[in-house]
Amino acid sequence: MVGFGIGVLLVLVIVLTVRAFSGGGSSTYGKLDVDASEPEISVQLLDINEYSRPGDATDPITAIVIHYTANPGSTAQNNRDYFNSLQDGHGDYVSSHFVIGLDGEIVQCVPTWEIAYASNDRNHDTVSIECCHPDETGVFNKETYESMVHLTAFLCAKFNLDENDVIRHYDVTGKNCPKYFVEDEKAWEQFKKDVGKALKKGSE
């Protein structure tokens, strides 16, 4: 009986370990209460300018691109204001349609029907989301992550896309962006699953 008990215990440990590494079928960040409805968005459009908001129309949108700011601890407002400051002639061509902050706040910088300078040769047919992160690891906190899922699902629904149309900056250029989702493929796949769940919930 002792041997049988040890065997059962070992099986239980293995099952729990597998669930831990697979996420047990739920998000890495726990239960997410989001769907594909429009989230709260602070619309603070950049001034029309050569360096961050050229005002050019996009082609039909075919994908949503996820980025990270690569600027640990910065806020959504910091990044939006930086994009806007480029009009003063800093020489960089950089922007994003949306920035998600450390408290989950969402700031819109460029209309979705205009090009943003975020995704290189996919600027013309994508909507970009820059995501803030607290430290050098690039791992997102729960507030940011939940808003990422919510906003991405909303945009997918808006443009008749699904989670398979969500890509990383890395998938366009090979750049290590967003760092967390490039270096942890399981986390990236889980993010897309969470977007899919939000889309399904939004259609129920």
Query: Within 10 A of 146 (CB to CB), how many other CB atoms are there?
Result: 22
pLDDT at 192: 98
Interval 58-116: pLDDT, tens: 999 999 999 999 999 999 999 999 999 999 887 789 999 999 999 999 999 999 999 99
Q: What is the pLDDT of residue 90?
A: 73
Highest mean pLDDT among 4-13, 23-32, 51-60: 51-60
Question: What's the pTM?
Answer: 0.86
- Residue that the structure tokens 């949306």 belong to: 98
Per-residue CA distances from 70 to 12, 84, 138, 157 (Å): 41, 18, 7, 28
Enumerate domains of the chain plus CATH numbers: 32-203 (3.40.80.10)
pLDDT at position 128 over 80:
yes
